[in-house]
Amino acid sequence: MKKPLFIGSAVAMITPFADSGVDYQTLTELIEFQVKAGTDAIVICATTGEASTMPDEEHIAVIEFAVKTVNKRIPVIAGTGSNDTKHAIKLSQAAEAAGADAILSVTPYYNKATQKGLYEHFKAIAGSIKIPMILYNVPGRTNLNINPETIFALSKIENIIAVKECNLGQVGDVVNLCGEDFAVYSGDDNAIMPLLSLGGKGVISTMANIIPQDAHDMVAKFFAGDIQGAIKLQLQTLELIKALFIEVNPIPVKAAVNLLGFKAGHCRMPLTDLDGDNLALLQKEMKAYGLID
């Protein structure tokens, strides 16, 4: 029987950048902020962490740093996805060597594999490592869906233990096919409660960068039987979530982390910083939530 790596909220962490590269002092502060707030796992160097703009050497260095800083207090999940299977294998093996507890591997983008190609891609990556692997299905970014039947076939591979699912419409099918042994996590902050109600185990969250305790508490309340309390938290986050996705992730959430007083720095090109009316809206919603004055 496969044991979930975590039940609750994992933060899809931003990567703080300075002119010289990664700002490791701020990264330390952000990790400690998450651990103290009750975050159940940390996802490092994934989409929200701008991994696509990080050279491999920097990418692996940040994973190593996160593993050492967390020091086994909670699981560290390393983003190692690529649309090049050999590159994904290389990154995944390096993450395992760095001490990551698991990897998160995104659906190949741009070259648009068939379902057979998706199966072979993820199977090859899983077979190259011994640590657990979480699939990441995000059709909005990749223009490609991992069908429930393909997820089911992949769930039969011993170390493929979960999916971060952004296609809410197929969650029920995935849960029905894969059963309790396979964890399904929400990839959308505004759909945590619907996904949990269908048998999900939690969320890999963008909003947890700024409200980690609420993200954790929402899932904890649900599994403690306080469904109304969990629903209340989900509903109170919705306007903030809209602001956090007013432009493509991670542009708004990185601005939000800066507004909290951390030195998150700028987004790397081709992403640009939040400004103008959109920044004003984010500030308004953060004030309404009580995060800033």
Task: Mark whether 136 is an active-site residue.
Answer: yes
What is the pLDDT, as a whole number, of residue 169?
Answer: 96
DSSP, res 268: P
Region of residue 127 (left: phi > 0; alpha: psi -120 to 50; beta: else) = alpha
pLDDT recorded at residue 2: 83
> Rounded distance, CA 157 to CA 10, Å?
23
Domain ranges of the chain: 8-235
CA-CA distance, 109 to 229, in Å (whole number)? 38
Q: Which residues contact 86 (CB under 8 A, 6 or more apart)?
A: none
Separation of alpha carbons 136 and 126, rounded Å: 13
Residue 20, pLDDT score: 84
* CA distances, 8 to each of 18, 24, 57 (Å): 31, 26, 31
Q: Residue 158 forms beta bridges with which residues?
A: none
Tens-level pLDDT at each residue, the chain (293 residues): 788 999 999 999 999 999 889 999 999 999 999 999 999 999 999 999 999 999 999 999 999 999 999 999 999 999 999 999 999 999 999 999 999 999 999 999 999 899 999 999 999 999 999 999 999 999 999 999 999 999 999 999 999 999 999 999 999 999 999 998 999 999 999 999 999 999 999 999 999 999 999 999 999 999 999 999 999 999 999 999 999 999 999 999 999 999 999 999 999 999 999 999 999 999 999 999 999 99
Q: Give the tokens for residue 244.
A: 């956090």
Amino acid letter for position 87: H
Angle between helix 56-70 and helix 24-37 axes, rounded to 10 deg? 40
What is the CATH code for 8-235? 3.20.20.70
Query: CA 202 to CA 99: how far, in whole Å?
Result: 23
Residue 213 exposed, middle or buried by CB count within 10 Å (0-12, 13-18, 19+): middle
- Specify whether 90 is catalytic: no
Instruction: Find the catalytic residue in 119, 136, 201, 221.
Output: 136
**H helix intervals, 156-191:** 171-178
Q: What is the 3-state secondary structure (H, E, C) of 217-253?
A: HHHHHHHCCCHHHHHHHHHHHHHHHHHHCCCCCCHHH
Catalytic residue (choose from 36, 110, 116, 164): 164
Flag whether the pTM goes above 0.85.
yes
Distance of alpha carbon 245 from alpha carbon 140, whole angstroms: 13
